[in-house]
Structure 1
Amino acid sequence: MTRHQRFSRYLMGTGALVASGALLTGCGLASGPTEDGEVTLRLSHQWPAPEDGEGDFRAVLAQRFADQVEERTDGDVTVEISPNNSLIEDPTEQYSAIRDDTLDMSVFPLDYAAGDVPEFSMTLMPSMVRNHAQAQNWQDSEIGDRISQTAEDNGVRILTWVWNAGAIGTAGDEPIRTPDDVPSGSVTRAAGPKVEEMLEGAGFGLSSMPSSDIYNALQTGTLDSAITSTTSFSSYRLYEQVNTFTSPAAGNTFWFMFEPLIIGTDAYDQLTEEQQTIVDEVGADIQEFAYTASEEDDQRVHEEFEENGVEVVEMSDSDFEEWREISEPAWESFGEEVEGGEELIELGQEVPAE
């Protein structure tokens, strides 16, 4: 079956909806495996639940995974999805919950766990990934192999690679295309310690918060601007609070986040070999959807913001090079602070952008 055929099949959607917002019931897997081999896996993520198969593509991806696993295992493996931070209020704590065996799965930005695994900052290194082609090339590159192995060594298995391009929204009337466009005293929000290090160098003040809090922070004036994924700009209706939007649709952004579908290795090891094979196969089969939906979202959100009266601009190649130049100190500090960091930076730079 071709990649296009797999993508078309999953666009049709199958299976029944799984329950969401399940209550935690102790440690380990939520239930099972039973004597009959039945297992329930708990999956948490931070985005609104899809409606009729539509919505934030990361939430849709989680639902498709759950539906397909349940179907292919004849109901022996059920995935209970808790969207919108309904199970774990702070999305950055999902990795810890997996390591503690109180959560089994997540669609999770690995950089959130950089405090525990410093190497994960490679997956949100400013200006390291500039477009979707380069992001997708990581999966079959040496840096991709290293990230996968690091994840396994630290208790999580990557099932589906998910990348999100980022945009810049400002509450003021002037868009931000280059570092020189940053207003004096401007406060922004952006995920990622190395991204924040670069932004401080560009002259931003910083305020840390989850994406779900950006709307209120812009509304109250706590933030002058925000940097997050294009999909989150749409899911949280930030077009109601920003006047300008620097879109990555033209193929340039300094903010690209890796947020894969992951399963804890402890949870994975409790599955039968047949169940493990199915989980791996479903993760691979929805890979094309993950890449395509993310890329299409850039253009969809670009148009959505224009339709809502927001001034939409794009970053030129020369604009990107200015961000890349001021990102290099963050690369250098990563290389100095993280064991093997210099080699990881070199491997990241080797990935082609086309």
Structure 2
Amino acid sequence: MRNPPERSRGMTRQQRFSRYLTGTGALLASGALLSGCGLASGPTDDGEVTLRLSHQWPAAEDGEGDFRAVLAERFAEQVEERTDGSVTVELHPNNSLIEDPTEQYSAIREQTLDMSVYPLDYAAGDVPEFSMTLMPAMVRNHAQAQNWKDSEIGDRIAEISEENGVRILTWVWNAGALGTAGDEPIRTPDDVPSGSVTRAAGPKVEEMLEDVGFGLSSMPSSDIYNALQTGTLDSAITSTSSFSSYRLYEQVETFTSPAGGNTFWFMFEPLIIGTESYDQLTEEQQETVDEVGADLQEFAYTASEEDDQRVHEEFEENGVEVVEMSDSDFDEWREASQPAWESFGEEVEGGEELLELGESVPAE
């Protein structure tokens, strides 16, 4: 956190929000790299606090857009309103504050960033247990994903997160899809063309994909469009929301949709706040931040699930062949995922127990 700039009392929240985005654009245009610059600091003498919230998706416009960006915007607006302006949340979408989205966790730990809508598995190199939140074929549908929060595995993930410097405010899950530049869709491991190169997030997902014959190319979701266009990638695996936000329907011929209730790729990407930033808030401010996060929970679940159907239809409307995985297709991916599960259980302290807890969460 840092001391907030002097604010014009006559400005509306929307005007102040627009000013923040304008400032962010100017910093980006100047090539300023803000991570590592010591921007976060404590509240002012009168208790006013500014929290910087970064994420990788395009900014919401008029309350519409990628639901993760909309979630961040609603959080910022409601926190400022409920605290009577004592807590301001500056939004920095589209990698405008932290160029590499995977580095947002490090920035939070270093207190150069306060908050993010952040895929926890991005930080699996620092916290290996976080790979549980993107374990291939562990979570197959939204019902199972939503059951995590109130299950023992959810308690463990929340504890591990706090122990490693971040507090979960809103649980966000995103189903994944698979798009191919070729004419043949991929529903099962046997459909993977020889020599095909794909992109996916998650070390354990990548481990499974290599086992079934994929070549891999690592990149952020924002680079997938150009990689498909230039032939660097033959296919890509990312969230349905990102398939839409980055207009990947312009570059793929087939789309394996999770709308039918099955996918091997389900990513946990919650709204988080650094524990050190949280601890610098007053007790009343902490209660408000927690309450707003909880109040946005149903929106996060519903919007993510609705996105699957919206994107499914969007790709069909753009001439892409859209298919779904059957239950038996999913079972094949589940079988293919077992070596990755086994290596996680062997390599990560407490990994076997985490796997058992995750596997026990009902899918309905």
Quickly name the TM-score band, shorter chain normalised: over 0.9
1:16 deviates by: 3.0
For the pair 1:29 / 2:66, whether they are aligned, the reply is no
Deviations along 1:267-295, whole A, 9 cap, x unmatched? Answer: 00000000000000000000000000000
Please provide the CA RMSD for this pair: 1.3
For the pair 1:353 / 2:363, whether they are aligned, the reply is yes
Q: How far, CA to CA, are the matches of 1:285 and 1:50 in structure 2?
A: 19
Q: How far, CA to CA, are the matches of 1:282 and 1:77 in structure 2?
A: 12
Q: Which residue of 2 aligns with 1:161?
A: 171
| Partner SS for 1:69 | helix
Q: How far, CA to CA, are the matches of 2:156 and 2:60 in structure 1?
A: 33
Identity rate, percent: 86
Deviations along 1:104-154, whole A, 9 cap, x unmatched? Answer: 000000000000000000000000000000000000000000000000000
- Aligned mate of 2:50, from 40, 61, 72: 40
Q: How far, CA to CA, are the matches of 1:233 and 1:308 in structure 2?
A: 13
1:305 deviates by: 0.1
Q: Which residue of 2 aligns with 1:275?
A: 285
Structure 1 contact 46–83 (Cα < 8 Å) conserved: yes
Scaled by the length of structure 1, the TM-score of the pair is: 0.94
Structure 1 gap ranges (5+): 1-13
Q: How far, CA to CA, are the matches of 2:349 and 2:288 in structure 1?
A: 35
Q: How far, CA to CA, are the matches of 1:84 and 1:335 in structure 2?
A: 35
| Partner SS for 1:140 | coil
Structure 1 contact 187–206 (Cα < 8 Å) conserved: yes
Structure 1 contact 15–68 (Cα < 8 Å) conserved: no
Q: How far, CA to CA, are the matches of 2:312 and 2:233 in structure 1?
A: 21
1:42 deviates by: 0.3
Deviating 4+ runs (over 4 angstroms): 21-26
Q: How far, CA to CA, are the matches of 2:43 and 2:354 in structure 1?
A: 38
Q: Which residue of 2 aligns with 1:243?
A: 253
For the pair 1:303 / 2:307, whether they are aligned, the reply is no
Deviations along 1:286-321, whole A, 9 cap, x unmatched? Answer: 000000000000000000000000000000000000
- Aligned mate of 1:289, from 299, 317, 326: 299
1:28 deviates by: 5.6
**Count of residues in correspondence between the two structures:** 340
Structure 1 contact 29–39 (Cα < 8 Å) conserved: no
Q: How far, CA to CA, are the matches of 1:330 and 1:116 in structure 2?
A: 18
Q: Which residue of 2 aligns with 1:204?
A: 214
Q: Which residue of 1 aligns with 2:188?
A: 178
1:223 deviates by: 0.1
1:15 deviates by: 5.4
Q: How far, CA to CA, are the matches of 1:225 and 1:317 in structure 2?
A: 22
Structure 1 contact 57–294 (Cα < 8 Å) conserved: yes
Q: Which residue of 1 aligns with 2:225?
A: 215
Structure 1 contact 110–123 (Cα < 8 Å) conserved: yes
| Partner SS for 1:245 | strand
| Partner SS for 1:49 | coil
